[in-house]
Amino acid sequence: MSKRAVAYLRVSTWDQSVQTQLYDLQALARQRGLEIAKQYTDHISGAKSRRPGLDELLADARRGQFDIVLVWACDRLARSVRHFLEVLDELNHLNVEFISFREQLDTGGALGRAVVVIISVVAELERNLIVERVKAGMRRAKLEGRPIGRRPLVVDRNAVLLERAHGRSLSQLASTFRISRASVSRLLKEAKEGQYEPQHWAL
């Protein structure tokens, strides 16, 4: 039984054409003795997380409707290295091969799988370096006596309760005291249950 192939095409704006990508992928498919059974297309920026075409492709992959995904370039598929690896990992678990025309990356072969492993290691190293930089910054701030994170917002809760008694809505209270509706609701609930100090409330 021959393997079923599909193509994923993406351009950033509607005035761009996917025909060049499709032409190259059709040539690639012929070289490998494949036929592209379906095309998934997105006209959307690479930075956008929600893509109708990609979402449909992954949904069909989970239903086992194809065996190979062809893309013109890796950056057509994902918005970041992390997202790219997440998509590749899901396709791998679904036993779906991934082939990129520009990078000549083929996860159906040993070399392609090795490249994916290397990319994963580099991405993990990058994440660890970012975490270490954040921790180092927090340690330095602590040693220098600087506050870490946002300072607590102190609200005159008695004033909030008084305004509420005069019929002000949650939205009006949130706007007046520059806090969220959720904070107003929590304050009123705690006031009703008697779970607060009489003067101020820190958010």
Catalytic positions:
12
Q: Taken in order 109, 115, 119, 125, is the CA torsion positive or negative?
A: positive
Separation between Cα atoms, residue 146 and residue 74, nearest integer Å: 43
Other C-beta atoms within 10 Å of 67: how many?
Answer: 19
What are the tokens at 77?
């598929």
Other C-beta atoms within 10 Å of 149: how many?
Answer: 7
Q: List CB contacts of 106: < 8 A, sequence separation 6 or more.
A: 97, 98, 99, 100, 112
Contact 100, 73 (CB under 8 A): yes
Residue 40 sits at the vertex; the CA angle it makes with 1 and 62, to the nearest 5 degrees, is: 55
Ordered DSSP codes for 98-141: EEETTTTEETTSHHHHHHHHHHHHHHHHHHHHHHHHHHHHHHHH
